[in-house]
Structures are given as structure tokens and as C-alpha cells.
Amino acid sequence: MTPAPERFEIRSDAAAGAAATEAASPFAAWPDRLRHAALVLLVVAMVLAMLTISGNLALAHAAIAFCCIVAAALVPWRLHDPAASRDEPARPDPVEQPAVGAVIAGMSEPAVLLDRAGRVIHLNALAAQLAPALRHKELAQFALRTPEIVAALREVAAGATARRVPFVEHAPVERWMEVAITPVEAPTTFGGRDFCMLMTFHDRTPLRRAEEMRADFVANASHELRTPLAALSGFIDTLQGPARDDAPARERFLGIMHAQASRMARLIDDLLSLSRVELSAHVRPDARIDLIPLLRQVIDGLEPLARERAVAIETELPAEPAIIAGDREELLRLFENLVENGLKYGASGGRVAVSLTQDAGPEGAPEWQARVRDFGPGIPPEHLPRLTERFYRVNAGDSRAQGGTGLGLALVKHILNRHRGRLLIESKPGAGATFTAAFPRPPA
Ligand SMILES: Nc1ncnc2c1ncn2[C@@H]1O[C@H](COP(=O)(O)OP(=O)(O)OP(=O)(O)O)[C@@H](O)[C@H]1O
Ligand SMILES: [Mg+2]
């Protein structure tokens, strides 16, 4: 039979510590005690029976003596739990066996084994790293002061089934964990069972980030679509009403409507391209592509924009072919985005340099590195890690004014991932920005 769980009270002040450790119910484990004393009681009963039969003891006296001995066996003589006191040596705990400790130490996630009062019996290195305040033989409630964890420990100790509660670590980086507290029955050396609680921590940060990104994406996409749509319906109202007979206004408004409709179409195109590239991310493109004519085609296509912005495009391309395994359409979009960004956001520098070199990658493997460098205002360092997020813009107003959707670099990153390539962004405010797309060179 399982002993009834002890009750303990959890308070956050230090004085509550003593109360929590003292507040066990000492009589709760009587079935275990009776079982342990069973052999002694049997011998006593036989001796008393022999004395009664031989006429040396009255039956009533023998019965009273037996009851007293049974009562004495049931009384917990150690009412004060020595483990609760720091001055006294701890009571040897059957679950402190090295094998149990080895199992906890070998778990792949942070894990802590607690006794029924919440004291730490075993903890692994991952748990000690996650919550350095957790100490052997001390109450976990004081190390993890989260109210949800404290309440869950109390519920599980009181007989509840497993509980899962959130635990957010704020420093050094924000991590969302889920703490699972599971009741465990460990065998004791007397053949009984001892109640403990297994607390494991599961990192839910990637899941949480993915959920946030999905929510942000839906919100951003709707916002980006709603803005031109609102402009379109506004102009339609105006054309149906006040500007109905105003020919010059009608011409102007139709021009704006055309630009807004193109912006919506471009946004939808970019979204579709992104999802297509994502869908085929696992299939590596295998067409043989020479990057030199491809880069020339991109530069020729963007010449009108370069002229409009008064920017000179300089090239430094090798004489021999630069062959990679790739997808032509995707590579065109990738370089269009990079060169167009240089022309749009780095126009003040007056020139954009496009170069292609052979280099060794981080693991020494040969790469083709295509570099697009501008000499404009550059990008402040705090924005660099987020530039490839969908809809992320350093200056949203400026980007929208230039007709940008904020999806260009997200698409660049996904195309490079599919080509097993890398994107490097280097920038110093005031000294322009360099975007390098590196592609593995296929074997000759
Ligand atoms: N060469 C650059 N110099 C300065 N800022 C840049 C440069 N390239 C990109 N950025 C910044 O990064 C942001 C994201 O660029 P991205 O190409 O993803 O979107 P976009 O250019 O705004 O839109 P799209 O590429 O869809 O037309 C830009 O809005 C701009 O603020
Ligand atoms: Mg762009």
C-alpha cells in the first residue's frame, strides 16, 4: 500500500523553510511500520500464548501486553526528521542509491529527483547549470521561486498525477521551458516503496519562436496587403464621387492606383516565390550554371534603375567560367535583390561593385563568392542579425517609399540555403554594406 503523501506548506520567505520541513505527518506511514515489525510481533505473540497456556500469565494480561507492544511498534519514535535540520546528519534515504543518481545524471534533459517535501535528492549537471540555486538536500521551492512550480510540487506531493508548468529563464538569453513534475515510487531497502518526484525541464524555445514568427508573418502580410488595398478603395470612392468629372485628377489617381496594384502583385509574387523555395528546400538544384553571364544579365537588367539613381555599377569578374549547381531563376532573383538593394539603399555612395572570386569556405572547401558592395550609409550593427527575417526593414518608411516589400533578403537566404550556400553581411555605418553569396564549387 502506498503511504499517504506528507503535506507541506510552501511559503516564499525564509522562515517558511522550517515549517515546510517540519510539517510532515509522522503517523502516515503506519502500514509500513506494522509490516517491518511483523516478525517481532509474531514472536511476542507466540511467547505470550505459551505463557498463557502454561498458566504463568492471565489471558487478560497477555492481551493487554500484546496491545501495548503493537502500539509501541506503530509510534514513530523519531517525530523530528533529522534531514530537515542542517545541524544533524541526514537520514540515509533509500533512493539515494548510486544507481538512481546515475540514471538522473545520464538523462539528456535537466532532471532533478526530489523527496516528498521537495528536497533535492539527485540533480544532473544540466539542471545545475540551468538553475544554479538548486542544491542537494535543499528545498527546490526556494531555488525555483516560480509560483506555478511551487504549486505543482505541492499538488503532486498531495497525490496529483503529473503536472506540466511553464518556466521562463530571462538571462542570459530568454528561454521558454516546460517543467514536468512526475510522481515516482522508488523501492526502499525494507521492501516498501518511497514517494519521490521527478522534475524534468524541456526547452520549448524553438517552438515558441516558430509560433511567434508565424503570428508575426500573418500580421505583417495582412498589414502589407491592407495598406495598398485601403489606398485603392479610397481612390475608387473619390473617382466615383468628387473627382468623377475631373479629368486631370482622374489621370493622376489612376496612376497612383496602378502603382498600388503593382505593389500588391509584387508582394504576392514574393510570398509565392518564398513558399516555393521553402517547399523545395530539401531538393538541391542540379543544373550547371555559369555565374558570370548570369551576373551580367542581372546588371544589364538593372542599368535603367542605376541610371535613374545616378549610380555606377562596377564589375570584377574572372575570365574563366564560374560553374555551380543551381537553379537559374532563383539565382537571378537572388542577385537582382542584392544589386537592387545596393542601388536603392546605397545610392548616396554613387557606385556599386559586383565581384566574383574563388575562395576557401569555413571548412576549407572551395567556394565561389559573389560580392555586392555599396558605398552608401551602411546598416547599424544591431539590425544585421535580423535583416533576413521576412518583412524586416531598417527603415520601413524608406523601404516602402522605394517600393520594397521587406521580403528580398528572406528570399535570398532561402535560395542560398537550397543551394547549400552561405550569406555574409558586413557593414559599417557610414562606410556602405557588403553582401556576399558563397556557393560550394561542384567537383570538376
Ligand atoms: N545595401 C543596403 N544598405 C542599407 N540598407 C540595406 C541594404 N540592403 C538592405 N538594406 C535594409 O534591409 C532591409 C531589408 O531588405 P530586403 O531586400 O529584405 O527588403 P526590401 O528591399 O525593403 O524589399 P524588397 O527586396 O522585397 O523589394 C531594407 O528595407 C533596408 O532597410
Ligand atoms: Mg530588397
Q: What is the pLDDT of residues 175-229, one digit of tens each?
A: 899 999 999 887 666 666 788 999 999 999 999 988 888 888 889 889 889 989 9
CA dihedral (262, 268, 269, 270) in degrees, to 10, reads 110
Report which ligand 1 atom has the smallest distance to the Cα of 372: 1
Antiparallel, parallel or unpaired: β 287-290 and 163-169: unpaired
Distance from C-alpha of 28 to C-alpha of 3, rounded to nearest angstrom = 6
- Ligand 1 neighbour 311 (Cβ under 6 A): no
Q: What is the pLDDT of residue 313?
A: 97
For residue 185, give every residue at least 6 positions away whose Cβ sits within 8 Å of its Cβ, in sequence order, or none: 2, 193, 194, 195, 196
Q: Which three cell numbers stand for residue 9?
A: 506548506
Spatial CA neighbour of 166 closest among 192, 204, 195: 204
- Ligand 1 neighbour 434 (Cβ under 6 A): no
Distance from C-alpha of 20 to C-alpha of 142, rounded to nearest angstrom = 11
Q: What is the pLDDT of residue 4?
A: 37
Residue with cell 503529473: 162
In contact, 358 and 371? CB cutoff 8 Å? no
Distance from C-alpha of 72 to C-alpha of 76, rounded to nearest angstrom = 9
- Tens digits of per-residue pLDDT, 48-70? 888 888 888 888 888 888 888 88
Distance from C-alpha of 38 to C-alpha of 32, rounded to nearest angstrom = 10
Q: What is the pLDDT of residue 189?
A: 62
- Ligand 1 neighbour 395 (Cβ under 6 A): yes
Report which ligand 1 atom has the smallest distance to the Cα of 395: 31
The fraction of the chain above a pLDDT of 70, given in percent, is 87
In contact, 221 and 214? CB cutoff 8 Å? no
In order of start, what are the domains of the chain with their CATH numbers? 15-83 (no CATH), 94-203 (3.30.450.20), 208-279 (1.10.287.130), 287-440 (3.30.565.10)
Q: 208 CA to middle of ligand 2, Å? A: 28
Rounded to an integer, the average pLDDT of 272-281 is 91
Q: 23 CA to middle of ligand 1, Å? A: 63
- Ligand 1 neighbour 436 (Cβ under 6 A): no
Q: What is the pLDDT of residue 77?
A: 57
- Tens digits of per-residue pLDDT, 317-354? 999 999 999 999 999 999 999 999 999 999 999 999 99
- Ligand 1 neighbour 346 (Cβ under 6 A): yes
DSSP 381: G
- Ligand 1 neighbour 270 (Cβ under 6 A): yes
Q: 393 CA to middle of ligand 1, Å? A: 6
Report CA-CA distances (Å) from 3 to 113, 184, 202, 341, 416: 18, 13, 30, 71, 61
- Ligand 1 neighbour 433 (Cβ under 6 A): yes
Spatial CA neighbour of 97 closest among 130, 122, 71, 63: 122
- Tens digits of per-residue pLDDT, 89-132? 444 455 566 778 888 999 999 999 999 899 999 999 999 988 88
Ligand nearest to the Cα of 400, by number:
1
The answer to pTM > 0.75 is: no
DSSP 136: B
Report which ligand 1 atom has the smallest distance to the Cα of 374: 1
- Ligand 1 neighbour 375 (Cβ under 6 A): no
Report CA-CA distances (Å) from 135 to 111, 129, 207, 229: 13, 11, 30, 60
For residue 353, give every residue at least 6 positions away whose Cβ sits within 8 Å of its Cβ, in sequence order, or none: 313, 314, 315, 316, 371, 372, 373, 374
Q: 425 CA to middle of ligand 2, Å? A: 14
Q: Is the pLDDT of residue 88 over 50?
A: no
Ligand 1: residue whose CA is nearest its atom 12: 393
- Ligand 1 neighbour 352 (Cβ under 6 A): no
